[in-house]
Every structure is written in C-alpha cells, then in structure tokens.
C-alpha cells in the first residue's frame, strides 16, 4: 500500500507541469480557445514529453503506461484546463492497439503525427454504450456519432457501431466522413461525424473493448477533475484571504470558513476515488470489479464537481461569474466533467446493478 508516484510518473508530471506553466497559462489558453481551439505547438510538446507514446506498447515505440501513470498528467491538465483532445487520442489509440495490434497508425501516434478521436456517442443514447444506431454492414458504416470530442482535427476515428455479431469498434478514415464542428460548453473542440457507407476496418474486442475503453476514459477524467477541483479550492481560498469587506478579509467569516472546509473535504474524497479508479482501470481482477470502482469514483467525483464548482463561484461573488477569471472556466469544465461518460444518475444505476 503506497500512494507515491514512482520516479517516471513524477518526472512525467513535472515535465507536463513545466510546459503548461511556461506555455499554457490562462492567457495562452484564452488565445488558443479564441483561435482554432487547439495548438499545434502543444501537440508537438505532448509528443516530445512522451505523452502520445505513454499509453501504447513498446512494440510501437511507446512506454506501455496505464491510468495510474497518467494521474499526474491528467491532474495538471485539469488544473490548466487544457483543451487539446488528448484523452480521445489515448482512447482511440488504446482501442486500436487492442483491436488491431499491427496497425501502422500506432507508431505515428507515438511520434505525435497521427491524430485520432474516439466516436462512441450518439443522440438519444444519453450515456448508454449499447444504444448504438450506427450500422456496420460489409465493412461500411452508416449513421451519425455526435459531440465527438476532438473530431474537427482528427484524421481517423475509432467508432462504435452495430454489426451482425453485435456492437464493435471500427477504424474509419476521416476523409470518408463528414464532420460538423462545434464547441462544447467547456470550450473544447467537438463535432458530429456523419457516416454514409464509410469504409471501415473492424477491430477485435467487441462491446467489451468499448466498455473497457470508456471505463479507462472515466478513470482519466476523474484524475483530471481532481486537478480542476484542486484549482477551484485553492483559488477560492486565495480569494477569501485577499478579498476584504467590512474592513476584514471575508475568509474571517465563519460561515464561509466552514463552507470552504467542506469544499476541501469533497476534494480529498474525490481524490481518493480517483486513485481507486486509476488503480482498478489498470489492474482490476475482472470487468465487474473494474466497473464498480469506476462508477463509484464517477459518482463521488461528479458530486464533488457539482458541490465545489457551485460553491467556488458563490464564494467569489460577482467575480466568480466573470469570464475574465479562470474560475468561471473551471466551473464550465467541472460542469461537463460531472456528466461526461455518464452523469451521477447513470453511474448510480450502473453501480446498483453490479
């Protein structure tokens, strides 16, 4: 039992934090969001630091890392509100590696040359993974995947679709699709992906691989949320110490003290569950144990996201509403994180059924 990062994990997290501090502060991020919504420089740096290779095996030049290895990175991303579609890349690449081991795309991913996205969401499905309307027939996909994170800049999609033998994942070239770009509530690039008899390569693994991939994503998201929660708590604490009313810092008011204490308690409880989620994503005994841990973590993290984000804005007063302060953007991110890959109700139902 230990909660240390090992040396490699620490080095990786430090590299990422250094890069973000230097080149991805709130102002830099604002410019990225106002422009194209992603940064080629960031993408290049991620590859250089080793992020793009981390989740893939050594066969492809990667490091074979798991969710635990990414905790520090995701926390840093959450704190900095990184908008680059890194998680979709990880998901698609991992699924591809598991479902088509020899794909030549994988070494391109490691080198930071290939951009992939993971297209599993559809309108009307809410958070159910098995409500898939997209059809696979004779290696061609037809249907529409919606709100696919990173779609506008993806060159390939890993897509969930229903074939004759059930739900599976398929690799599709972006050129065979039509992408309608959007921005999410938390300012990320997304898009609807229209498939009209798009040629596709079927991956092995079926619905189990889809579920495993989304559980892995949820574990990463929990760690990302912890970073965002930490920022929300810390910046609110700082505000309470500096903002004066009635001649004293507002942090001297006991009602506000008790409320920020409860925010930090939520943060610590969420952090614990994020640790559990990453740990079980990597090494659960079976799919049920993994799913229980992931859903439990998402429940607690989503509750914390709601509680902390709402309180952080409230305790900031008007300033919390202003888009000039980072906290309002963290609020948006936490609002989305609480729902992405399943909201509390979805995971309560899943947890109870397991």
Partner 1 sequence: MDLNYSAEELEFRDEVRAWLGANLPAELREEVESYAHLSKDDLLRWHRILAKKGWVAPAWPREWGGTGWNVVQRYLFEEELGYAGSPPLIPFGLSMCGPVLLRFGSDAQKKRFLPRIYNGEDFWCQGYSEPGSGSDLASLKTSAVRKGDHYVVNGQKIWTTLAHYADWIFCLVRSDSGTSKRQEGISFLLIDMRTPGITVRPLILMDGAHEVNEVFFDDVKVPAENLVFEEGKGWTVAKYLLGYERMNTGRIGESKRQLAYLKRYGEHLMGDTRWRDRLSRLEVELTALEITNLRFLDRMRRTGQPPGADVSMLKIKGTEIQQELTELMMDATDPAASDPLSVAVRKRYLSMRKTTIYAGSNEIQRNIIAKSTLGL
The answer to whether the CB of 81 falls within 8 A of the CB of 228 is yes
Interaction residues for partner 1, span 221-240 (CB under 8 A): 237, 240
Q: Which does 310 bind (CB under 5 to 8 A by kind): partner 1, its own copies, none?
A: partner 1
The answer to whether the CB of 189 falls within 8 A of the CB of 163 is no
| Shortest distance in whole angstroms from residue 267 CB to its own copies | 20
Q: Which does 63 bind (CB under 5 to 8 A by kind): partner 1, its own copies, none?
A: none
Interaction residues for partner 1, span 36-95 (CB under 8 A): 68, 71
If one asks whether residue 255 binds its own copies (CB under 8 A), the answer comes out as yes
**Side-chain-side CA neighbours of residue 40 (13 Å):** 1
If one asks whether residue 339 binds partner 1 (CB under 8 A), the answer comes out as yes
| C-alpha dihedral sign at 278, 280, 283, 288 | negative
| Shortest distance in whole angstroms from residue 85 CB to partner 1 | 16
If one asks whether residue 254 binds its own copies (CB under 8 A), the answer comes out as yes
Reference 51, options 72, 33, 26; nearest CA is: 72
**Bridge partners for 195 per DSSP:** 143, 177
Helix (H) or strand (E) holding 29: helix 26-34
Q: Which does 142 bind (CB under 5 to 8 A by kind): its own copies, partner 1, none?
A: none
Q: Which does 329 bind (CB under 5 to 8 A by kind): partner 1, its own copies, none?
A: partner 1
Report the C-alpha gap between 348 and 142 in whole angstroms: 32
| Shortest distance in whole angstroms from residue 254 CB to its own copies | 4
Report the C-alpha gap between 152 and 88 in whole angstroms: 12
If one asks whether residue 314 binds its own copies (CB under 8 A), the answer comes out as no
Q: Which residues contact 259 (CB under 8 A, 6 or more apart)?
A: 311, 315
Q: Pull the structure tokens for residue 76.
A: 């840093």
The answer to whether the CB of 143 falls within 8 A of the CB of 161 is yes
Q: Pull the structure tokens for residue 145.
A: 């995947």
**Hey, is 64 helix, strand or coil?**
coil
Interaction residues for partner 1, span 7-36 (CB under 8 A): 9
Nearer to partner 1, 109 or 240 (CB): 240
The answer to whether the CB of 91 falls within 8 A of the CB of 55 is no
183 CB neighbour count, 10 Å cutoff:
14
Q: Tell which one of 5, 63, 253, 351 touches its own copies (CB under 8 A).
A: 253
Q: Tell which one of 76, 198, 260, 334 touches partner 1 (CB under 8 A).
A: 260
Nearer to its own copies, 28 or 265 (CB): 265
Nearer to its own copies, 207 or 237 (CB): 237
Stretch that binds partner 1, among 26-34, 39-47, 185-193, 212-220 (CB under 8 A): 185-193
Using CB under 8 A as the binding criterion, the count of chain residues that bind its own copies stands at 6
117 CB neighbour count, 10 Å cutoff:
29
Q: Tell which one of 320, 333, 334, 337 touches partner 1 (CB under 8 A).
A: 320
Stretch that binds partner 1, among 29-37, 42-50, 161-169, 331-339 (CB under 8 A): 331-339
Report the C-alpha gap between 270 and 286 in whole angstroms: 23
Q: Tell which one of 3, 102, 164, 175 touches partner 1 (CB under 8 A).
A: 3
Nearer to partner 1, 42 or 232 (CB): 232
Task: Name the residues that contact its own copies, by CB under 8 A.
Answer: 253-258
């Amino acid at each position: 039992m230990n909660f240390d990062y090992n040396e490699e994990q620490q080095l990786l997290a430090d590299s990422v934090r250094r890069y973000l501090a230097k080149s991805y502060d709130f102002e830099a991020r604002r410019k990225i969001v106002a422009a194209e919504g992603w940064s080629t420089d960031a993408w290049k740096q991620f590859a250089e630091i080793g992020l793009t290779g981390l989740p893939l095996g050594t066969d492809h030049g990667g490091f074979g890392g798991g969710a635990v290895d990414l905790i520090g990175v995701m926390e840093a991303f959450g704190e900095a509100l990184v908008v680059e579609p890194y998680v979709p890349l990880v998901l698609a690449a991992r699924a591809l590696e598991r479902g088509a081991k020899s794909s030549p795309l994988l070494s391109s991913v490691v080198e930071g040359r290939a951009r992939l996205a993971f297209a599993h969401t559809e309108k009307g499905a809410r958070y159910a993974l098995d409500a898939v309307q997209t059809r696979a027939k004779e290696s061609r996909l037809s249907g529409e995947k919606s709100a696919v994170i990173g779609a506008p800049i993806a060159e390939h999609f890993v897509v969930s679709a229903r074939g004759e033998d059930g739900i599976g994942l398929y690799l599709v070239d972006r050129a065979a699709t039509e992408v309608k770009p959007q921005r999410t509530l938390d300012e990320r690039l997304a898009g609807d992906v229209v498939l009209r008899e798009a040629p596709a390569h079927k991956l092995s693994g079926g619905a189990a691989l889809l579920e495993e991939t989304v559980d892995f994503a949820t574990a990463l998201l929990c760690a990302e949320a912890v970073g965002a929660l930490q920022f929300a708590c810390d910046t609110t604490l700082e505000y309470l110490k500096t903002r004066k009313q009635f001649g004293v810092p507002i942090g001297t008011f006991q009602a506000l003290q008790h409320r920020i204490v409860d925010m930090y308690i939520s943060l610590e409880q969420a952090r614990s569950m994020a640790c559990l989620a990453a740990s079980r994503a990597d090494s659960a005994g079976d799919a049920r144990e993994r799913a229980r841990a992931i859903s439990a973590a998402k429940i607690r993290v989503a509750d914390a996201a709601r509680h902390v984000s709402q309180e952080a804005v409230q305790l900031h007063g008007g300033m919390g509403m202003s888009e000039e302060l980072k906290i309002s953007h963290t609020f948006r991110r936490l609002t989305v994180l609480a729902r992405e890959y399943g909201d509390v109700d979805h995971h309560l139902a899943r947890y109870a059924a397991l």
